[in-house]
Structure 1
């Protein structure tokens, strides 16, 4: 690594001045990455020192975004509304930094502030946002005033500033929510005075702020934390259920978790963090450094547990309520990998372009650009690392079977995505070095033996995923497809040349098979009860299983084949049933056709079907296509 990749310190906020802030800082310092940090990251790792380098770069990036926002807002006709001019908030931030630079850094690096910055900048530049009209632009821009107030409170300085009222109160980022019930004014005031104390005031209503802002008080709801207790590697991210920008996918009103919900989150997180902290493949200190806030959400999870992170909200992880500790631990590592790579890409270019093409991603139902593929490969390298180490130390036979399965599944997905990157991505010199680091880390795991049962289940699900992707997104040429349909009608042999296909991304139908395999491995008795009486037995998957899916997951291939065949007779456009048919057919031309070109079999079947259904027998048609020369 060249010497000029050593890291430099972040610049301070510039001194106040009259008028809007200048477009560029008076002193520009470039961030460079140390060779040691890059090497750690390239192998999927990254300890506390590496994360500190990445966060230093994020601080400067966010400072520049904040300056750009202040400049744009200072000249926008809809801003400041009833609030003081944005430069007043900027001046308060400067005062706070002079007293306590760490306080301003904490606010700049707070993930919700980053999510707000990016969203608000888009609105100021005229880029429409979902539900943008619900929040006036002056109020959205006024989040800057609450950022400044939070920094000033942390710095311990006296101040007074007007802020916007939203969702019935005032959110102080990284601190908590002041509840103002019944207050109908759009503006409140935050006051801090060493003699008179600190408070949020709105008309005749006052919420005194406690001396310890982490404690509940009358009208004050602090941000709470999750605690991963470990003597050497503790982790305590916020559990954010308050901030309007906590869900970076869309703004949300406060939704305070109940005491029992909080306990469940805490218990799962503590258990999951114990698994992360004992990892031999992943540096727990680096993961802890990535996790600033965890946001509870409830999004449909389809085939995989839902989790998400965003480059705009560095350090924030959205999570559905956890179901088990190991899955939560893997999700935390998965999102930490995304967070590291996003911060790295802000400092070091790893590929040219990468947003223009769409490719198959073995972990996603939809096509992905190459940059998305790089993110997925890096994230699942971390997940593979977790399961590889976890399966070595678990004593319970069922837990080990699940771990073996997840390890086999994730290493194969990572390897497939990596091969696509190597074949198609235009990598920079550093990008090539980075990808080769991933390849080197993965190589030994690819030849590690896995018991036959979990290995076969992983291979079947990866094949199922690939088939479903092709059935959903590949479209054969309609003219050539019609020629094939005509040949079938006339009783002729299948043409020799397959129709050309194009990629046309569309909505996808989820399959219950991944959830059923996990249930069968984790709890065979519960799976047996579900198979015996699926109508009455609860199933936590998002898709109700077909009888054929249950038979397939149980290993009864003959029954599953009959079930999928009957399903397609009733519903010929059920794509998961087509994939199930391919999985359960015995070896022969029909199976070969469905594995080799499932989208062609589907397209020809559709061309031969009438407006109210019907069509040829799917197995007979697949066999006919499979006998082509």
Structure 2
């Protein structure tokens, strides 16, 4: 990286050459190899390095809102400064000022309080102490870098307390590379917010550490940095990890301890598998084809399916144990999550077996997953949570088909012509192709979770849906609320009304399939929803609209 940066015309800008930072890093390593190793393995350093290398090599296109390249490469200078501070050596180095201050990776952020300077200097002297100088101003660094003082904001830690398996990741709200999806300015959590994160994490970790189905020590080793984010969660809690940022997990504010525990296990599985795939190949190729993924709204390559299957096996394991560990009002929700996740994991395994080109180690790996999951598939689940999981899995498959499967236009036209002249539908269904497209997410999964976890809150939502929208979503449709409450007749009327006004509302088409009574119409909408939709679109008149969706589905379902 230093060689690339040193030869780039936009680097070093107003700073010394990257080689100066590299030499300081070497000095620090000679004094304290363990500290430097720990710093270089810090997740945010990995995110920065991957991003910076892509920019230096011209792999990514420059955008107007990106920081100058010299300032991005200047993160190396702050890495070197952090290493020198951890090693306890005397040094002096110029660093870039970003977002109004200086970020020292794995340590904290020094707010320069609006001082207008592009460059600052960090000085450590065994006699005079440690400070950051910006222009004519000098801001001291505390001797204890874990203590907040003046403009210094240390990285906080979360503490999952357990006598055998403790876990203490950073709670990173400061580093510009903490969110590996995009560089982000510091957004310091308030003390009450930080306390809530600590309370939720401590409760969640007690659930993880008490598990017999997962390895708590392995999960703890995969959690180096927890990054609070606020991305629309929609039907699923949001969490993410990246192989370029080993040990970093992005998380939305947690709803409850069990959901947070499942998310931690889920991302730890991703982190472990990313590390394994760096060492040995399990699958050949796997980035070209795209397939249905029961946990995603978009189609995924086989390598992504392998990741998801392994991650959700861990989540299934958690809910399997947790549903037996609780005996209160949260039990139905735990039963539902277990039934939902085991079905999704099974489908992922089946797709991998059918389509993936596995190495010998990959076949062994997959057999291990199958051996773990297979006995769980026959474990009994109460009817209510089981039906809810089955319905949502069906809903997910239908939405995938409606969004991404495209019937052959010529054959679709023949079907439309047969409807127009009153003939029976053709015998053979039109061939379809898979084309990834933008997706609309139904609120039904979020509503089911709310009904199972908080029945009183669900009842309040039914009474005044416009006053209590779900997190990240608009107020739910009345039809969705009726369906989640089990009133399929009212839900069916609502979905028909919705399609009369909005014939391309795909969640309403899926809702229609969920609520129709047994018969040809339901058979068509559950078996080939993309064909019903495509023929309906071909028959629409700009002024008169299209045929009744149920009548059309009945006609298609009556074919030989």
The alpha-carbon distance between structure 1 residues 468 and 612, as it changes in their structure 2 partners (threshold 3 A), is farther
Asked if 1 retains the 8 angstrom alpha-carbon contact of 2:235 and 2:445, the reply is yes
Normalized against structure 2, the TM-score is what? 0.98
Question: 1:208 offset after TM fit, Å?
Answer: 1.1
Query: What secondary structure, in the 3-state scheme, does the structure 2 residue paired with 1:535 have?
Result: helix
Match of 1:291 among 212, 218, 223: 223
Match of 1:256 among 188, 192, 195: 188
Is 1:119 aligned with 2:59? no
Instruction: Kindly report which structure 2 residues correspond to 1:340-359, keeping only aligned pairs within 5 A, or say none.
Output: 340-359=272-291
Asked if 2 retains the 8 angstrom alpha-carbon contact of 1:485 and 1:604, the reply is yes
Match of 1:154 among 58, 66, 86: 86
Asked if 2 retains the 8 angstrom alpha-carbon contact of 1:511 and 1:543, the reply is no
Asked if 1 retains the 8 angstrom alpha-carbon contact of 2:234 and 2:471, the reply is no
Is 1:564 aligned with 2:495? yes
Asked if 2 retains the 8 angstrom alpha-carbon contact of 1:161 and 1:189, the reply is yes
- Partners of 1:597 and 1:328 lie apart in 2 by 37
Query: What secondary structure, in the 3-state scheme, does the structure 2 residue paired with 1:411 have?
Result: helix
- Partners of 2:293 and 2:403 lie apart in 1 by 13
In structure 2, what is the equivalent of residue 604 of structure 1? 535
Question: 1:518 offset after TM fit, Å?
Answer: 0.8
Instruction: Kindly report which structure 2 residues correspond to 1:470-509, keeping only aligned pairs within 5 A, or say none.
Output: 470-509=401-440
Which deviates the most, 125-134 or 387-396?
125-134
In structure 1, what is the equivalent of residue 373 of structure 2? 442
| 1:22-59 deviation digits (Å, cap 9, x = unpaired) | xxxxxxxxxxxxxxxxxxxxxxxxxxxxxxxxxxxxxx
Is 1:413 aligned with 2:335? no
Query: What secondary structure, in the 3-state scheme, does the structure 1 residue paired with 2:244 have?
Result: helix
Question: 1:133 offset after TM fit, Å?
Answer: 5.3
- Partners of 1:133 and 1:388 lie apart in 2 by 46
Instruction: Kindly report which structure 2 residues correspond to 1:517-536, keeping only aligned pairs within 5 A, or say none.
Output: 517-536=448-467
Question: 1:538 offset after TM fit, Å?
Answer: 4.8
Query: What secondary structure, in the 3-state scheme, does the structure 1 residue paired with 2:467 have?
Result: coil
Asked if 1 retains the 8 angstrom alpha-carbon contact of 2:159 and 2:166, the reply is yes
Structure 1: give runs of 5+ residues left out of the alignment.
1-68
| 1:81-138 deviation digits (Å, cap 9, x = unpaired) | 1111111111111111111111111111111000000000000001225646531111
In structure 1, what is the equivalent of residue 262 of structure 2? 330
| 1:351-401 deviation digits (Å, cap 9, x = unpaired) | 1111000000000000000111111001101100110010111020x2111
In structure 2, what is the equivalent of residue 373 of structure 1? 305
Question: 1:561 offset after TM fit, Å?
Answer: 1.1
Question: 1:571 offset after TM fit, Å?
Answer: 1.1
Instruction: Kindly report which structure 2 residues correspond to 1:176-195, keeping only aligned pairs within 5 A, or say none.
Output: 176-195=108-127
In structure 2, what is the equivalent of residue 86 of structure 1? 18
| 1:384-429 deviation digits (Å, cap 9, x = unpaired) | 0110010111020x21110000000000000001110111111111
In structure 2, what is the equivalent of residue 270 of structure 1? 202
- Partners of 1:235 and 1:537 lie apart in 2 by 36
Question: 1:566 offset after TM fit, Å?
Answer: 1.4
Query: What secondary structure, in the 3-state scheme, does the structure 1 residue paired with 2:465 have?
Result: coil
The alpha-carbon distance between structure 1 residues 453 and 233, as it changes in their structure 2 partners (threshold 3 A), is same
- Partners of 2:64 and 2:28 lie apart in 1 by 31
| 1:480-521 deviation digits (Å, cap 9, x = unpaired) | 101100000000000011111111111111111001111111
Query: What secondary structure, in the 3-state scheme, does the structure 2 residue paired with 1:198 have?
Result: strand
Size of the aligned set, in residue pairs, is: 560
Is 1:551 aligned with 2:482? yes
In structure 1, what is the equivalent of residue 552 of structure 2? 621
- Partners of 1:413 and 1:335 lie apart in 2 by 17
- Partners of 2:505 and 2:312 lie apart in 1 by 30
Is 1:303 aligned with 2:235? yes
Is 1:141 aligned with 2:78? no
- Partners of 1:227 and 1:324 lie apart in 2 by 17
Asked if 2 retains the 8 angstrom alpha-carbon contact of 1:190 and 1:199, the reply is yes
In structure 1, what is the equivalent of residue 107 of structure 2? 175
Query: What secondary structure, in the 3-state scheme, does the structure 2 residue paired with 1:426 have?
Result: coil
Normalized against structure 1, the TM-score is what? 0.88
| 1:179-233 deviation digits (Å, cap 9, x = unpaired) | 1123222111111111111111112211211111110111211011111111111
Asked if 2 retains the 8 angstrom alpha-carbon contact of 1:147 and 1:172, the reply is yes
Asked if 1 retains the 8 angstrom alpha-carbon contact of 2:161 and 2:202, the reply is yes
Query: What secondary structure, in the 3-state scheme, does the structure 1 residue paired with 2:330 have?
Result: helix
- Partners of 1:420 and 1:610 lie apart in 2 by 40
Asked if 2 retains the 8 angstrom alpha-carbon contact of 1:512 and 1:544, the reply is no
The alpha-carbon distance between structure 1 residues 202 and 537, as it changes in their structure 2 partners (threshold 3 A), is closer
Question: 1:612 offset after TM fit, Å?
Answer: 4.6
Instruction: Kindly report which structure 2 residues correspond to 1:61-72, keeping only aligned pairs within 5 A, or say none.
Output: 69-72=1-4
Question: 1:613 offset after TM fit, Å?
Answer: 6.0
Asked if 1 retains the 8 angstrom alpha-carbon contact of 2:28 and 2:83, the reply is yes
Is 1:386 aligned with 2:386? no
| 1:411-467 deviation digits (Å, cap 9, x = unpaired) | 000000111011111111111111111111111111111111100100000000000
Asked if 1 retains the 8 angstrom alpha-carbon contact of 2:469 and 2:475, the reply is no
Question: 1:346 offset after TM fit, Å?
Answer: 0.8
Asked if 2 retains the 8 angstrom alpha-carbon contact of 1:223 and 1:242, the reply is yes
Which deviates the most, 565-574 or 458-467?
565-574
In structure 1, what is the equivalent of residue 507 of structure 2? 576
Structure 2: give runs of 5+ residues left out of the alignment.
none
- Partners of 2:218 and 2:63 lie apart in 1 by 36
Instruction: Kindly report which structure 2 residues correspond to 1:422-433, keeping only aligned pairs within 5 A, or say none.
Output: 422-433=353-364
Asked if 1 retains the 8 angstrom alpha-carbon contact of 2:232 and 2:471, the reply is no
Asked if 2 retains the 8 angstrom alpha-carbon contact of 1:227 and 1:269, the reply is yes
The alpha-carbon distance between structure 1 residues 140 and 286, as it changes in their structure 2 partners (threshold 3 A), is same
Question: 1:523 offset after TM fit, Å?
Answer: 1.8
